[in-house]
Homo-oligomer: A and B are copies of this chain.
Amino acid sequence: MARKAAQTTSDGVDKNKPVTSYDVAHEAGVSQSAVSRYFTPGASVSARTRAKILKAVNKLGYQPNAIARSLITRRSSLVAVVVANLSFNPEFTSVLGQALSARGLNTLLFTLDHESDADHVIDQLWQYRVAGVVAAVTLPPRHVEMLSQREIPVVFVNRVYEEVAVNSVSCDQSEGERWLVDELCAAGHCRIAIVSGPEDSPVSRQRVSSAAERMANVGVKPVEIVVADFTYQGGREAMRKLASSANRPDAIICANDMLAIGCMDEARHGFGLKVPEDISIVGFDGSAAGQWASYDLVTIRQPTNLMVDAAIDMLMARIDDPQLITEKRVFSGELVRGASARLAST
C-alpha cells in the first residue's frame, strides 16, 4: 500500500508533526511562556514580542492545542448539548450551535434515544470536562445532583425541576394552552379532544394537563384524550381513533405541531374532512413545517431565539461563577392565528 513519505519543507520543518508553542517560541526567539501569554486574552505581552510571535505563528502555522490547554486550566470550551431524538427540534439545535459558536464555545452533541442512555452521556461529558450543559431532555435527579456537585453548570430547556435548584429557560406552556382553549371555546367549540405526546414526556404532560385544567375551569370536558408519540405517524393514528369514535370532536388540541400535522393529514386524506370547517386542529411549538401553507397551524410559537440567548447567558454566567444562585426564566409564547382552526373573528 502506498504510504506518503515524511514531508519535510525546505525550512526543515516536519509537516507531519504538529507545531507546539515551543517551536514558535524558538522561532521567535522568546520563551514558551510568552507564546502562551500571547494567546491568553488580557495577559501582558509587549508590542515587540507580540510582533515576533505573530510572525513565527504565521510562518509555522501554529494553532494552540485545546487539549493541553484544557488539561491545565481544568476547563474546556466544550458545551454538551443534550437533545432527545424524537422531540428533537432541529431549529433549536441549530440556533443554539450558532449562538455557542459565536461565543467561542463548541458543541458536543448528544442525541438520546432512550432515557437510559443518560448514564452514558453523563459519563462522557464529565470525561471531557465540559464547561457546561444545555439539556432539552429530562435527566434523572441523581444526574442533575451529580452535575451540580461537580460544579458543571446546567441549563434545562423546557424542563422545569421543582425539587432541584437548577437553571432553566422555558416557554410558558400553561399560558399557551390556556390561550388555545380560550380561542377554541370563544369560537363555539365544545367537543374538544386532546392528543397527548408520550406519557413519559414532561413537556407533553404539562401541556395536556394545562389544557385540561383550563377546559375544566370554563366548564368543558375533553371528549377524549388520546396518547401518541411525538411523531407524524402518531398524529395520524390519533386522528384515526378520534375520527371514527362515536362522538367525534369538533376541535383537537395537539401536544405539539408534529402531531397536529399528522392529525390534519389524516383528517383530510384519511377521512375527507375539511380543516377547519369540519374540525379545528391546534398545535404547539411554532415549527417551520407547521407554518407551511398546507397546514397553516393555529399554534403557540416558542421564542426560540430568546430562549437560546437566555440559556447561553445563564450558562456563561455560571461558568464564570459556578456558585451563582440558580434562576428559572419563563417566556411567553406567541399565539399564531393560522387557518387550521375556526376562531372567533376579532
Which residues does chain B contribute within 8 Å of A88, judged by CB atoms?
90, 94
Q: Which of B18, B127, B294 contacts A64 (CB 8 A)?
A: B127
- Asked if A325 is at the interface of the complex by the 8 Å CB criterion, the answer is yes
CB distance from A275 to the nearest CB of B (A): 11
Stretch among A21-29, A45-53, A102-110, A300-308 lining the B interface: A102-110
- Residue ID in chain B nearest A4 by CB atoms: B323
Convert A80-104 into 0s and 1s, putting 1 for each residue whose CB lies closer than 8 angstroms to a CB of B.
0100010010100110011001000
Q: Please tell me the number of chain A residues within 8 Å of chain B, measured between CB atoms.
A: 63
- Asked if A3 is at the interface of the complex by the 8 Å CB criterion, the answer is yes
Please measure, in the bound complex, the distance between the C-alpha atom of A312 and the C-alpha atom of B90, giving whole angstroms: 22
Do residues B127 and A65 form an inter-chain contact, with CB atoms below 8 A?
yes
Do residues B63 and A67 form an inter-chain contact, with CB atoms below 8 A?
no
Q: Which of B4, B15, B265, B289 contacts A293 (CB 8 A)?
A: B265
This protein's copies in its complex: 2
Do residues B1 and A324 form an inter-chain contact, with CB atoms below 8 A?
yes
- Asked if A76 is at the interface of the complex by the 8 Å CB criterion, the answer is yes
Which residues does chain B contribute within 8 Å of A1, judged by CB atoms?
323-325
Which residues does chain B contribute within 8 Å of A323, judged by CB atoms?
1-4
Q: Given A64-B127, A66-B127, is A325 in contact with B150 using a C-beta cutoff of 8 Å?
A: no
- Asked if A211 is at the interface of the complex by the 8 Å CB criterion, the answer is no
Which residues does chain B contribute within 8 Å of A174, judged by CB atoms?
none
- Asked if A71 is at the interface of the complex by the 8 Å CB criterion, the answer is yes
Convert A244-281 into 0s and 1s, putting 1 for each residue whose CB lies closer than 8 angstroms to a CB of B.
00000000000000000100111011100000000000
- Asked if A31 is at the interface of the complex by the 8 Å CB criterion, the answer is no
- Asked if A156 is at the interface of the complex by the 8 Å CB criterion, the answer is no
Q: Given A98-B113, A128-B106, A325-B1, is A288 in contact with B232 using a C-beta cutoff of 8 Å?
A: yes
- Residue ID in chain B nearest A125 by CB atoms: B106
- Asked if A172 is at the interface of the complex by the 8 Å CB criterion, the answer is no
- Asked if A175 is at the interface of the complex by the 8 Å CB criterion, the answer is no
Q: Which of B64, B71, B90 contacts A71 (CB 8 A)?
A: B71
- Residue ID in chain B nearest A61 by CB atoms: B146
Which residues does chain B contribute within 8 Å of A289, judged by CB atoms?
289
22 pairs, CB–CB < 8 Å, chain A vs chain B: A15-B149, A16-B149, A16-B150, A16-B151, A63-B127, A64-B127, A66-B124, A66-B129, A78-B108, A88-B90, A88-B94, A90-B93, A98-B111, A98-B113, A106-B124, A108-B108, A261-B292, A264-B294, A265-B292, A269-B294, A270-B293, A294-B295
Residues of A at the B interface (CB closer than 8 Å) are: 1-4, 7, 15-16, 18, 63-68, 70-71, 74, 76, 78, 81, 85, 88, 90, 93-94, 97-98, 101, 106-111, 113, 120, 123-124, 126-129, 149-151, 232, 236, 261, 264-266, 268-270, 288-289, 292-295, 323-325
Known: A67-B129, A109-B109. 15 other contacts (CB 8 A): A1-B324, A1-B325, A4-B323, A16-B149, A65-B71, A67-B128, A85-B98, A88-B94, A90-B93, A97-B110, A107-B108, A107-B110, A108-B109, A236-B293, A269-B294
The 7 closest A-B pairs by CB, nearest first: A90-B90, A66-B127, A265-B293, A269-B293, A109-B109, A294-B294, A107-B109
